[in-house]
Amino acid sequence: MTDATLATGRRGHAEHPSVLLEFERCRALERSDLDALDTIFAETLTYIHSTGAVHDRAQLMEYLRSSVRFSHVRRSGIAVSHWGSLAICTGLLKLQGYRLADSVPFESVSFVTQAWTNHGTGWRLGLMQSTKVADTLWPMAGNNPTGIIDE
């Protein structure tokens, strides 16, 4: 790593492993693949939903198991700053799905801040804060059929 990278903490998003893991997290949410999510989430995860609800890792896993299903989980405009074993990722998130209790569909766009850490066993998601924003901030007209994380 160059001195300039260390000083600024900036790095191209496609180069950082946390972005690939975020892509895996999105696909796992669409598949309700709790085993995959189990490997991505840190034991100390704190997850703050756009509604203000706060879950620890166990509570989030139960919520994903029993309360919600996602049909589409998309990211856009991801930026990564990193310092050694800490990476901070920001960008937009678009969710589509439904609540299991009443089958009511939902769609939301949020600005997300994530903290990813690596303590020698690989990168894990340790913190996620999601803040609802206007749907008009989503940069893609219509949908994103490829599901790729874009710049």
Q: Where are the domains of the chain?
A: 3-135
Reply yes or no on domain 3-135 having CATH 3.10.450.50: yes
Distance CA 36, CA 82 (A): 24
Q: Give me the tens of pLDDT residue by residue for the chain, a chain 151 residues long.
A: 332 333 344 445 557 899 999 999 999 999 999 999 999 999 999 999 999 999 999 999 999 999 999 999 999 999 999 999 999 999 999 999 999 999 999 999 999 999 999 989 899 999 999 999 999 999 854 444 334 343 3
The pTM for the full model equals 0.83
> Residue 13 gets which letter from DSSP?
G
Sheet of 10-11: strand order equals 10-11, 68-83, 86-99, 105-118, 123-132, 41-48, 54-56
Closest CA to 81 of 45, 46, 40, 115: 115
Q: Where are the alpha helices (DSSP H) in 9-137?
A: 17-31, 34-40, 57-66
